[in-house]
Structure 1
């Protein structure tokens, strides 16, 4: 049965050089100017999207890999997405904005106050994509880099402390009573004294309570510890998984089990699966693109190696493509999930050329082998996900007007006619829109 689904946009490049390496660079937008992002955000709101999630990586990596990240602007430079958010809020009325934040970069009291400020200024539309990137640790102090699970422990302490500060104004503390001239009741403010393993701070927070919910928490982690964090803390899970019924059902089951283990309802978390579609004008054009991708040339393999090198902070372009990939070349800071995504279903004996070629190959929406197809075929796929109980999808791409319109111009009317995409907002902020269905 067709049902409404939630839609988000994942800005995978982050607040970086949009248009670089693409023909639409000649539209002459400046990526450091907010106009580019504001125009795209207005289009997404017109389309009925719930939120935009903005990726970020504060670090350019190690000295040995910086050139890999900046040479083709795959991994940097990037400006701070938290400071882009106010410009997007100013251009819209309903769209939620979720910049990526790293607990290592923000002391809890400062974070609680800044996030509270944006929540109020935006009409309660702030989201926070909480990541535990440990490779950036050296930029924020001299403490030893934490391991994977320990970084999640710190993130949970950080978020719990921030929430304690947000809630340090008890019910009835804010009076705003013009008859008596009394603004607030200080006896109803809690001091909050936090002394934890990673942070120490005191409250109460110097900010007024929220009227339409706290900022919504987004999490992207797919490890067991990451799913546990999501179950306990998140309102939206950025999900990466094969889009077949068994994989989706299993993934959602793990998230829901984690929510129950934390004493929450599975309905508290919206699981949004990321899709990076290639929309074409006809099934014949889709077939042509898929066929052409089956035998990638050296230039295509080099481009993929460059992109993967940036993400993995490891120069794959210097390796022999005809020899197996030694996973021992990756440092401890490299995400195991990123390594698994690179290798895919290949065994240890597969030559690197074969591994990279698999990333070059495209598949068809119509048969479930990939994401190339017409707008109607993409709508079919999204509708099918809904019949499996899915909450919604995140479309993955640059936040550039050309990209947004290329993906949505035909898709939005089809989704609305099928009753899959909202045509109006409930009001009340991001949390309210997420809870609407």
Structure 2
């Protein structure tokens, strides 16, 4: 029997202008209002998805790249995804909602209390996508910006601190005995006096403990330090790697080794490989799309350069397309994984044109060169990933209802008929669904 997979949706634009730059914008949804997100969330739940991860970047970026990030709404504006989460919980019953959170942006006690509140309000469906973006540090204090690995150290201390507060109510602390009029026993609460490198606070937490598990932790880091963080701390790892058997198995092995080193089981973490599929109605249509992308003109390259400039907070549009890309232009705040996705294995002498062309070019599911093809061909890929031991995939795109239906309308029936996509949810919230298979 085909092995079922976990499915998630990565809301790539975050709580921002859904549909901007596409004809679907004329459906006239207001991205600042909850209705568009609620409609999309209901669609994902009907489809049997485990979770939606809401990307976020609290900063407009460096002063030099603010214009390029907002001109086409690639990097902003973005509203706070944590405040969107309750509206999505209200519209659904089973879907996990995972806003992106930044340890630099809020103190552990405040975060622990807010997250605990949402976990209770949602019936255990909250997840937290923990990112270590350092470029936004100047918005939160005048402290010096941390380096890549130091930012992970801070994130680890932040998460450990939050967990210590969540667990500051020991067994027996919550009594709720109406006969004796005792709600809680304060002698079973731990003080939690934390004095660390980055944070200092006292507990215990002024929020109820969890009866059915803590919020799920998600992480996206692809560097060695990021993979180690995921193995030690995460319930879900957002994986970005070539979908070849050797690459998939090697990536999973690194995460599992890190989990074991931290005293966890490999199966404690679900690894979801990110894919942005283009689902076509026929193989012939897929072939036409791939052929049209083979020789992009300069206008297409400039467009992809704009998006990469936003993602990398580095202006690529001012560079000569035909000269080698000097990696020294990327500051320490730029994700090593993001740089690697741009340059691939083309070498330091490859011109910028080659890197951008590789991003523009599309490939076919059928020959495993890319992500364009029919729903049946996509299902073949998912089944193959399952044979390699994979846990699931994370589809990538806007949260505009048109975007979701364009991808899912033909795909969901095919996946269901093959036994890949769930038809029923487990009881107990997001953690229960992640561990159901």
TM-score by length of 1: 0.99
1:19 matched to 2:10: no
Alpha-carbon separation, structure 2, partners of 1:422 and 1:196: 43
**Distance in structure 1 (CA, Å) of the matches to 2:146 and 2:183:** 44
Worse-matched range after superposition: 345-354 or 172-181: 345-354
2:285 matched to which residue of 1? Answer: 285
- Structure 1 residue 327, shift from structure 2 partner: 1.5
CA deviations over 1:334-392 (Å, ceiling 9, x no partner): 22221111111212222211221111100000010000001111111111111111000
State the match for 1:66 in structure 2: 66
1:55-76 CA-to-partner distances (Å, cap 9, x unmatched) read 1110111111100100100011
CA distance in 2, matches of 1:168, 1:333: 34
Q: How does 1:319-358 map to 2 (within 5 A)?
A: 319-358=319-358
Distance across 1 between alignment mates of 2:316 and 2:147:
24
Q: What residue number does 1:86 align with?
A: 86
SS in 2 for 1:380: helix
Q: Deviations over 1:270-326 (max 9, x none)?
A: 000000000111000001110110000121111011111111112111111111111
Q: How does 1:219-258 map to 2 (within 5 A)?
A: 219-258=219-258
Deviation at 1:178, TM superposition (A): 1.0
Alpha-carbon separation, structure 2, partners of 1:176 and 1:235: 31
C-alpha separation in 2, matches of 1:264 and 1:123: 25
Contact 2:135 2:333 in 1 (8 A): yes
Query: Pairwise mapping of residues 288-299 of structure 1 onto structure 2 (< 5 A)?
Result: 288-299=288-299
TM-score under structure 2 length normalisation: 0.99
Cα deviation, residue 96, structure 1: 0.3
**C-alpha contact (below 8 Å) 2:194/2:201 kept by paired residues:** yes
Q: Tell me whether 1:201 sits opposite 2:201 in the alignment.
A: yes
Corresponding position of 2:35: 35
SS at match of 1:104: coil
Structure 1, unaligned runs of 5 or more: none
Runs ≥4 residues deviating over 3 A = none
Query: Which deviates the most, 19-28 or 339-348?
Result: 339-348
Q: Does 1:380 align with 2:389?
A: no
CA distance in structure 2 between the partners assigned to 1:273 and 1:145 by the alignment: 30
1:141-152 mapped onto 2 (5 Å cutoff) = 141-152=141-152
Alignment length, in residue pairs? 437
2:84 and 2:323 mapped to 1: Cα distance?
A: 44
Does 17-26 or 304-313 show the bigger shift? 304-313
2: distance between equivalents of 1:143 and 1:396?
Answer: 34
| 319-328 or 232-241, which deviates more | 319-328
Shift of 1:332: 2.1
Range with greater deviation from structure 2 (332-341 or 177-186) = 332-341
| Alignment map for 1:178-217 (pairs within 5 Å) | 178-217=178-217
Q: Provide the C-alpha distance between the structure 2 equivalents of 1:18 and 1:56, rounded to a whole number of angstroms.
A: 13
Distance 2:153 2:192 in 1: 20
- Is residue 416 from structure 1 mapped to residue 416 from structure 2 by the alignment? yes
Larger CA deviation: 89-98 vs 331-340: 331-340
User: For 2:8, what is the secondary structure of its paired residue?
Assistant: strand
The 3-state SS of whatever aligns with 2:7 is strand
- SS of the residue corresponding to residue 317 of structure 2 reads helix
Following the alignment from structure 1 to structure 2, what is the Cα–Cα distance between the partners of residues 335 and 246? 24
| CA shift digits 1:42-96 (9 cap, x unpaired) | 0100111100001111011111110010010001110100010000000000000
CA RMSD in angstroms comes to 0.8
Who is 1:160 aligned against?
160
Partner of 1:363, secondary structure, is coil
Q: Distance in 1 between matches of 2:265 and 2:288?
A: 46
